[in-house]
Chain A
Amino acid sequence: MNLKKAQIQLGESIFVVIIIILIIVLGIVFSSQAQKDEYEQRAETFTNLDSVMLGQFATSLTELQCSTLQVEELSCFDLHKILAFQKLQETNNDQSAQYYYSQLGDANITLELIYPEEKFIQIYLNELNLGNISGVPIQPQEKPIIIPVSIYDDLKQEYYFGVLHITMYSP
């Protein structure tokens, strides 16, 4: 009789221990999943904030902005400065890529002329691809930042409607 009672109590103890272990394991799984989610969300937020900074920086590039008597115009790029910038990238690729990589990083900045005619102009595309050299694959941001800008043609003295597409690449 005593033996049977002891067996039942032992069974009870084992059952309780199993339940406690199960609860602890579930807790660990839940908390690690929650932490993982949080880190992923934080990484995404920081990527978004980085792309906001990149957008701010790209729209205020002094090399490309319109200016009258050395006063810069907001949200305006000079068409001929853009073309000269493109030429600089082509003729002096390594040096300019290195210089602008420190400021713009892994990114693709394209200007789309919308009105009066449609035309695409590649302003910056990182070709050093340091992300790939380091072995961590980089991916383009899901939603590129889109910022409308005026494009000023100094020869015709006309403003065109353009849009900057800024895509950041991140690991």
Chain B
Amino acid sequence: MNTKKAQTEIIGLVVIVIIVSIAMLFYLSYATGKGETSTRDNIYKEYTNNELSVSFIQTLLKTSIENCGDASFEDLVYDCGTKRQITCTTGFNSCEQANKTVRTILNETLDEWDLAYGFSIIYSHTRQEHIETYNCSNQNEEIDRAALGLFLIPYFPQPGNARLELGICR
């Protein structure tokens, strides 16, 4: 009689274990699905960040600069890093004009859209002319290295180059 009662209780226990296992399986499959979705979302975010940063640098370099004759932004950066012959009708030299143009465009685009980003123009040899802006707001944010807009302007035939970088914060 006692053995039968014990067997029945064991069956009850087994049923409970089975129910808990099924619940765990459900939860695990749900949690795994969530992970996949966040990976897909990251791909989307990476794509949009990449498109923004790469196209931004390409477009900026091509842009013709007002009051500087036929000079493009790329010409200004090249001139700033080398001979500094370009003087715009506003009286600014190439470095000052490049700086002013970048500030204007950044103010009216990334700043206005409240996007956190890091932007820099690093001139080899002429350290004092660097333009650097880094406004990833908190410590957890950092530049998305996988989606970095990067362009090098060689000073050829002279040695060195100017390096333009734009990264959107994660």
**Chain A residues in 8 Å Cβ range of B26:** 27, 30-31, 34
Q: Which 4 A-B pairs have the closest CB atoms?
A: A158-B64, A148-B59, A34-B30, A48-B44
The verdict on A114 contacting chain B, using a C-beta distance below 8 Å, is: yes
Chain A neighbourhood of B105, CB < 8 A:
114-115, 161
The reply to whether B44 and A49 contact each other, CB–CB distance below 8 Å, is yes
- How many chain B residues sit at the interface, stated as a range, is 20 to 34
Min C-beta distance of A153 to chain B, whole Å: 9
Q: How many A-B pairs fall under 8 Å by CB? A: 81
Query: From residue B97, how far is it (CB to closest CB) to chain A in Å?
Result: 12
- Rounded to whole angstroms, the CA-CA distance of A45 and B101 in the bound complex is 37
Smallest CB-CB separation from A156: which chain B residue? Answer: B64
CA distance in complex: A24, B29 (Å): 18
A159 touches B63 (CB 8 A): yes
Q: Does B145 contact A (CB under 8 A)?
A: no
Q: What residues of chain A lie closer than 8 Å to B63, measured between beta carbons?
A: 115, 150, 159-161
Within 8 A of B (CB), among A63-115: 74-76, 114-115
Q: Among A31, A115, A147, A158, which residue has the most Cβ atoms of chain B within 10 A? A: A115
A-B contact pairs, 23 of them (CB 8 A): A16-B12, A23-B23, A31-B26, A34-B30, A34-B33, A38-B33, A45-B40, A52-B48, A75-B55, A75-B58, A76-B62, A114-B108, A114-B109, A116-B66, A145-B51, A146-B113, A147-B51, A147-B52, A148-B56, A148-B58, A148-B59, A150-B59, A160-B64
Residues of chain B contacted by A139 (CB below 8 angstroms): none
Counting CB contacts under 8 A, is B124 at the interface?
Answer: no
A145–B72 alpha-carbon span in the complex (Å) = 26
- The reply to whether B62 and A42 form a contact with Cβ atoms under 8 Å apart is no
Docked complex Cα distance between A115 and B103 (Å)? 11
Given known pairs A159-B63, A161-B105, the reply for A149 and B55 (CB within 8 Å) is: yes
Please tell me which one of the listed residues A41, A148, A159 contacts residue B55 in the complex, with CB atoms under 8 A apart.
A148
Are B109 and A148 interface neighbours, CB within 8 A? yes
Q: Is the CB of A149 within 8 A of B19?
A: no
CB <8 Å contact, A75 and B59? yes
Within the complex, the shortest CB–CB distance from A170 to chain B, in Å, comes to: 14
Is A125 interfacial (CB 8 A cutoff)? no
The residue that B19 contacts in the complex, of A23, A74, A75, A162, with Cβ under 8 A, is A23
Chain A residues positioned under 8 Å from B62 (CB to CB): 76, 150, 159
Annotate B41-65 by CB proximity to A: 1 below 8 A, 0 otherwise: 1001001100110011011101110
Complex Cα–Cα for A119 and B158 (A): 40
CB distance from B9 to the nearest CB of A (A): 12
| A148 partner residues in chain B, CB cutoff 8 A | 52, 55-56, 58-60, 109
The interface bits of chain B over 69-105 (1 if a CB of A lies within 8 angstroms of the residue's CB, else 0) are: 0101000000000000000000000000000010011
